[in-house]
Amino acid sequence: MSLPPLVQPAAELSVDEVRRYSRHIIIPDVGMDGQKRLKNARVLCIGAGGLGSPALMYLAAAGVGTIGIVEFDVVDESNLQRQIIHGHSDIGRPKAQSAADSVREINPYVQVNIHELRLDSTNVMDLFSQYDLIVDGTDNFATRYLVNDACVLLNKPYVWGSIYRFDGQASVFWSEHGPCYRCLYPEPPPPGMVPSCAEGGVLGVLCAAIGSIQVNEAIKVLAGIGEPLVGSLMVYDALEMTYRKIKIRKDPDCAICGTNPTVTELIDYEAFCGAVSDEAAAAVVDSTINVKQLSQMLDERERGERDFVLIDVREPNEFEIVSIPGSVLIPKNEFLMGNALAGLPQDKQVVLHCKVGGRSAEVLAVVKGAGFADAIHVGGGVIAWVNQIEPEKPTY
């Protein structure tokens, strides 16, 4: 559907700005009026990672007058495969500062606001109220529901994107004109069922494809041109090189934007989404060791003083990057399907680990439920092992 422009045009463009944006201005649908609206726009980008990188760069190049960056992380070497707003020399720097420097280099006429904070229910409403439109580059469900609910309560358009391996999705959620994120996903998936990009990987260039679509949609909403993805879900398959547009409708029973909403204020989104299932949370109580304890156990096993089986529940590609010495790879899904349980030794303690501890906690619940009462898992997983025991090994 066509929508009216979200923002009013700025009073004028300078001669230098006209030169800079001339390729926009000569497009009839944009013109001088549309470019002035972009100059007057205030856009908040949540995250300066995979999606935030191309989004921020193209928002700046397009001439969006005020750009806010919400980011609390620092640049890691593993980010550089896809987070193109950062460079090698930025490793260890706060992402927000690194991204802001790149935005200013792209366009010195843009006002950049840095918000080095973790977005939560205590700060989101005040922050969002300072901007016209929200571009979401996050990769976790708790933040997505938080962003959606805040946008609905404030009547802000929410440009959403999602990436995983070779697949991407994008939409514009705006409850005044169409469905919100909860209309599409009323409930989060069960904890541990949907792997993150950190667990499953993502093709670096996919970020550019989806991030640029997000900016395209933001420009259309801000300037009032074209037909934004309000009420539509764009699905991209990079391997097959296909785009599909799926119609999504406003849910009259939606918890926050429906006829009789049950969510009328912000909630505890971490609890709503759950980092791990209740079963996993119960299983890890008094059954979690740290990597230093594991190192000592491995030394004792080497000396023949104790015996146990150390099982890595990650995926084979992860195991190839880095592994804990003496571990055996049995992916998490083998336990969830029940295939791995029959092969577990009855006369040895079972010790489980994954990348950071979430997947091994879920498997621990399955293993304990199968009768292995003394099974334990390693908190912090491989990442903690590399950081504390073998720092010469790679992380991812």
Q: What residues are annotated to the active site?
A: 197, 354
> Closest Cα to residue 312, out of 372, 370, 353?
353
Distance CA 385, CA 394 (A): 11
Determine contact, residues 49/83, Cβ cutoff 8 Å. Answer: yes
> Closest Cα to residue 138, out of 152, 158, 123?
158
Distance CA 100, CA 238 (A): 29
- Write the CB contacts of 178 (distance below 8 Å, at least 6 apart in sequence): 1, 172, 230, 231, 248, 250
Which uninterrupted H or E stretch holds 114?
strand 111-115
- Provide Rg for the chain, Cα atoms: 24
Distance CA 65, CA 72 (A): 23
- Phi/psi of residue 219, nearest 5 degrees: -60, -45
247 - beta bridge partners?
A: 232
